[in-house]
Structure 1
Amino acid sequence: MELLLETVALFCLKLAYETEDSSPILRDDPIMSDYEREVFGLLVRRGDIEGIQFRMVCCVGLAMEALGGSGTAMGRELDRLASDFSKANTMEQLEVPLNALKDYLKDIQ
């Protein structure tokens, strides 16, 4: 789960901050400090669903801005997927919408 969370965060930050003429954002970049696997690992071990969802909302918000907001077709889809993720009440319920977010963000990179 931690790797999946880190991957979604990485894709969001890449979408928000990476440009064609810059170096690619990697997992060990300082911008990823609040979204590292170890940070998510701690939240997962604690069962802190709200903490996980908060961090993801922050990342998805940045990606949403990069897409032009929820008024665009890609923004609406991202908003729908993020909403599904936010509705999860258990750790097990996070996995399916998190995978959907990952796949969508990967596709639109």
Structure 2
Amino acid sequence: MESSLETVALFSLKLAYETEGQSPILRDDLIMGDYQKDVFELLVRRGDVEAIQLKVDECLGLALNALGGTDKPLGRELHRLSADFSSAKTMEQLDVPLIVIKDYLKDIQ
């Protein structure tokens, strides 16, 4: 799960901040500091669903803005997918929506 959380954060930040012609954002970049695998590992070990959702929601909010918000089809779909993730109450309930979001962000890169 930690790897998927980091990947969602990375893809979201790429959408928000990466520009054509510049170096790509990588997992070890400073911008990923609060969203690295070890940060998510700690939250997963604690079972802190709310903190995980908050961190992912921060990134997804940036991605949503980069996609033009909910007025655009890609943004509308990301918003719909993120609602499922945000409504999860347990660690187990985070898994499926997280994978769906990860795959969606990968597809639209």
TMscore range, shorter length: over 0.9
User: Deviation of residue 16 (structure 1)?
Assistant: 0.4
In structure 1, what is the equivalent of residue 107 of structure 2? 107
Query: Number of aligned pairs?
Result: 109
User: AA paired with 1:106?
Assistant: K
Residue in 1 that maps onto 2:5? 5
Partner of 1:88: 88
* Percent of aligned pairs with the same amino acid: 68
SS at match of 2:69: coil
The equivalent residue for 2:67 is 67
CA apart distance, 1:20: 1.1
* 1:30 matched residue in structure 2: 30
Structure 1 stretches lacking a partner, 5+ long: none
TM (norm. structure 2) is 0.99
The two structures have a TM-score, normalised by structure 1, of 0.99
Task: Write out the 4+ residue segments of structure 1 that deviate beyond 6 Å after TM superposition.
Answer: none
Structure 2 distance, partners of 1:85, 1:97, is: 5
* Structure 2: gaps spanning 5 or more residues: none
State the distance in 2 between where 1:74 and 1:26 align. 23
